[in-house]
Amino acid sequence: MEPNQIIQGDCVQLLSQMPEGFADLIFADPPFNIGYKYDLYEDRKAYDEYHAWTERWMRICAQRALKPTGSFWVAIGDEYAAEVRLIGNALGLHLRNWVIWHYTFGQNAKRKFARSHTHLFYWVKDPTGFTFNDMAVRVPSARQTTYADRRAHPAGKLPDDVWSFSRLCGTFKERVGWHPCQMPEKVLERIVLACSNPGELVLDPFSGSGTTCVVAARLGRKYLGIDISEEYVRRSRQRIAETLAGLRQPTDIAENPEALRHLRRVGRKGGSQAQGPTLW
């Protein structure tokens, strides 16, 4: 199997047939079990069924697909955030951050406060041996922008663990229109830049609209996406091709000039490859 593709099928079945330890970074945005209308998947399962399925796909990702030096991110809603956190513990993963993605255009509500966040769990296998490119994701600090403090790091600071990026509304140019819950590229850019190097492989077991693979391709990473929907696979392949051909305009890949200069230096030198077996 060649890299840089999105394939149709069940992620648990497909990953069980692949070699162990090939992914440097895994980002998973599974169905939240809250009734979204997908192409094929039924997003309203009984609690025990959904919990058991979550444990299965997380196990195959963490214990088979992920390299010993790899990073594993999972996006999930409130309903199963606690369960996902406990499953990660049981799999022996080490939690680096529990990030809250706070967004505008939250869900409309009449009898409770509107929900405007998603949970992003960030784990590693090895607590001392993993990739984290801090210079690639730094943002301007208040010491720089407000106080002109000369003690401020010239590249800014690392982002807090609450990220403020808008959801993709129907009028946004980035919105593809054929998937019900498209992830913004800005969220994936930060994760891919921080937790992988150029030339390494990014896996998305629930590829959906293809955002993870689009961002990985744009940033010089290899990618592998999996989705059960033949239609989503076809359309996301087209989205990647259009992006790489310049027909789709990417969002900014860095949030301050110093970080962007560092990223370009790293890209010219080439990223270090983690040790372990590879798929290709």
CB atoms near residue 180 (< 10 Å)? 12
Among residues 8, 30, 209, which one has the least CA distance to residue 120? 30
CA-based max dimension of the chain:
56
Characterise 4 by phi-psi region: left (phi > 0), alpha (psi -120 to 50), beta (else): left
What confidence tens digit (pLDDT) does each residue in 184-219 have?
999 999 999 999 999 999 999 999 989 999 999 999
Any idea where the domains of the chain sit in the sequence? 5-269
Cβ proximity of 119 and 111 under 8 Å: no
* Amino acid present at 242: E
Contacts of 190 (CB under 8 A, 6+ apart): 137, 159, 163
Q: Report pLDDT for 35.
A: 63
DSSP string for residues in 124-162: ESSSSS----GGGS-B--HHHHTS--TTS-TT-B---SE
Q: Which CATH architecture has domain 5-269?
A: 3-Layer(aba) Sandwich (3.40)
Q: Report pLDDT for 275.
A: 33
Bridge-based pairing of strands 222-227 and 5-8 is parallel
* Ranges in the chain, pLDDT < 70: 1, 35-36, 38-40, 106, 178, 247-280
Q: Is 47 exposed, middle or buried (0-12, 13-18, 19+ CB in 10 A)?
A: exposed
Contacts of 245 (CB under 8 A, 6+ apart): none
Among residues 264, 244, 205, which one has the least CA distance to residue 25? 205
Cβ proximity of 219 and 189 under 8 Å: yes
Q: Report pLDDT for 4.
A: 95
Q: Report pLDDT for 155.
A: 83
Among residues 196, 197, 275, 205, which one has the least CA distance to residue 65? 205
Cβ proximity of 125 and 93 under 8 Å: yes
Q: Report pLDDT for 144.
A: 80
Burial 124-153 (b: 16+ CB within 10 A, else e): bbeeeebbebebbbbbbbeebeeeeeeebe
Among residues 232, 226, 207, 235, which one has the least CA distance to residue 9? 226
pTM above 0.75, yes or no: yes
Q: Is 223 exposed, middle or buried (0-12, 13-18, 19+ CB in 10 A)?
A: buried
Q: Report pLDDT for 250.
A: 52
Q: Report pLDDT for 272.
A: 38
Q: Report pLDDT for 50.
A: 94
